[in-house]
Amino acid sequence: MKGITGLSRVAGACLLAALSTLAHGAEAGTSADELLGDAAFVLKQIDSGQYAAVWQETASFVRAKYTADSFESGLSQLRKQVGAVDHRGWASVTRLTYSHDKAIPDGLYANVDYATWLTDGRVVYEKLSFQLGSDGRWFFTGYEPRPNQGGVPQANVAGK
C-alpha cells in the first residue's frame, strides 16, 4: 500500500508540475511573445525618453562597457534619428547563440526587428537586441535604427 501511495504522490506532483508549466507558458526566455512584449516595453521607454530606466535593465556587459551618461546620450541620439513615429509592426524575431566571441559574452541573444512608419510617410527599421540572463529574463543590449533591412550585423551592442 505504501508503494501505491508513494506512486500516487509522484504522479500527483508530476501532474501539478505539468499544469503549472501549462499555466505559466513556456520556460522563461523561450517564448517569442515574451520577447516581443519586452521589446515593445523598451521601445515605449525609448520613445518617451526614459533612457535611465532602459539603462537599469541593460545587460551587465553593456553597463560595464558604457557609463550611464554615455549610454543615455547615445541612445537619445539614435532615437532622434528616427523622428516622429506613426506606428510600428514587428518584422522578425531572431535568436542567436554566441560562443567564443571576443566582443560578446557567450550566451543566447535575440534581435527583434520592427518596420516603423513615420508621420512623414517614410518607413525605417528599428532593431532591439537582448541577452537572455541566467534568471531567464531578457536584458536589453542594443538599439539600431536604419533606413533599410538588408546587410546589418546582428546583436549590435548599444547601437554603436
Whether the predicted pLDDT of 158 surpasses 80: no
Position 8 scores a pLDDT of 38
Task: Please indicate, yes or no, whether residues 51 and 109 belong to a single structural domain of this protein.
Answer: yes
DSSP letters for 102-150? SSS-SEEEEEEEEEEEETTS-EEEEEEEEEE-TTS-EEEEEEEEES-ST
Mean pLDDT in residue range 73-101: 94
Q: Which domain does 10 fall in, by range?
A: 1-28
Q: Which of 156, 96, 159 is nearest to 132 (CA)?
A: 96
Task: Write down the pTM of the prediction.
Answer: 0.75
Task: Please indicate, yes or no, whether residues 21 and 76 belong to a single structural domain of this protein.
Answer: no
Task: Please indicate, yes or no, whether residues 76 and 112 belong to a single structural domain of this protein.
Answer: yes
Task: Please indicate, yes or no, whether residues 9 and 50 belong to a single structural domain of this protein.
Answer: no
List, for residues 93-137, the tens digit of each pLDDT value: 999 999 998 888 999 999 999 999 999 999 999 999 999 999 999
Whether the predicted pLDDT of 20 surpasses 50: no
Whether the predicted pLDDT of 12 surpasses 80: no
